Chain A
């Protein structure tokens, strides 16, 4: 019966954030042990419930059998101890194999902000470049993610690739990911970080190696300050440039917007990026994601919003 449940359950376990639909080395390992432990849990629950029912309803109840001490000693100590020690040793070995030690792969720096993510990559020319709310990774090779925070505690988590690690002010944590399947996935802040914790997701794109190199090439030194209509540029200077940057080599207190045109989501995973959504977001982001730290732009007239949108969409 339990075995019959697996395919049924497996059908429900897909999804861009599912730890049970792994696309990376660590996540696969953990998904495997998750299934083992879940089935074990169901079996043990069944056994314990059966024992409870038997103790009350069983026919041969109380007649002879092992001594009370033997039952408590074996059931309460020896058998659980054996199972737990095996599990513990397995856990220690597995955990140890996932640590970011040994080789020194490419490192991407992630900084958690209330309520968005900044990613900093080593560029093609030795310079670094920034992007926001989108993580691009090559398939088949390890990458170390260095996780830091600009304000409160956040937690970096891409369930399909591996476990999570917290972004803590004053500290710098590391996690090693090794994607083994190309595709779009999702990441999410897992530590409660205030009003808009729910809307602190990011897009994850795992590329074939050449595509990844193209991405790095494209992003390195990208400057879109002059792209798009002049009216849009001026509006951007007036309303946005204090916090946002249109070049990938300058970060800012707000998300970097140089590559916004290529991003599939807006507002840290809040909206799917469409022409209409972008205009909605610019004018009404405080209604869509209330409490976010961008000043309210409800007073912008339609024309300005349109100009800004065109400027941001320019490639």
Chain B
């Protein structure tokens, strides 16, 4: 009764990049809200403040996770499901890769304002 037999893991892997992206989004928003609540940085510090450091950390950890998934994608293509054709496997590999590329773009896309704007102001 291994999970693998039900292909849940393989299905999950197709969207894994976006799961990491979602985690980044949630952690950035939560880290930012809680950071502003409990670390209360001064607006005058600009970008040199604990909340920005915290968000940078969250950003980098997720970037690292996505890079790791990228490595996995490159080195170890998805295992075939029961009775799966090579074309179908290629398809899943393609989707997994595209989703990863999209997620990395997306992470940078939502993440770069961290380095532009002092948090907690406004």
Contact = CB atoms under 8 A, between A and B. Distances in A.
The reply, when asked whether chain A contacts chain B directly with Cβ atoms under 8 A, is yes
Interface of A: 81, 85, 89, 92-93, 96, 99-102
Interface residues of B, number: 8
B113 A101 contact: no
Nearest to B120: A101
Interface string B94-106: 0000000000010
Contact of A99 (B105, B116, B121): B121
Contacts of B105: 81
Contacts of B122: 99-101
A137 B105 CA distance: 46
A92 B117 contact: yes
Nearest to A102: B43
Q: State the 5 A-B residue pairs at the shortest beta-carbon distance, nearest first.
A: A99-B122, A101-B121, A101-B43, A92-B113, A99-B121
Interface of B: 43, 105, 109, 113, 116-117, 121-122
A101 B43 CA distance: 8
A100 B121 CA distance: 8
A92 B110 CA distance: 12
17 contacts: A81-B105, A85-B109, A89-B116, A92-B113, A92-B116, A92-B117, A93-B116, A96-B116, A96-B117, A96-B121, A99-B121, A99-B122, A100-B122, A101-B43, A101-B121, A101-B122, A102-B43
A252 B117 CA distance: 41
A81 B105 CA distance: 10
Given A92-B116, A96-B116, A101-B121, 14 more contacts: A81-B105, A85-B109, A89-B116, A92-B113, A92-B117, A93-B116, A96-B117, A96-B121, A99-B121, A99-B122, A100-B122, A101-B43, A101-B122, A102-B43
Contacts of A92: 113, 116-117
The residue among B43, B116, B121, B122 with the most chain A CB atoms within 10 A of its own CB is: B122
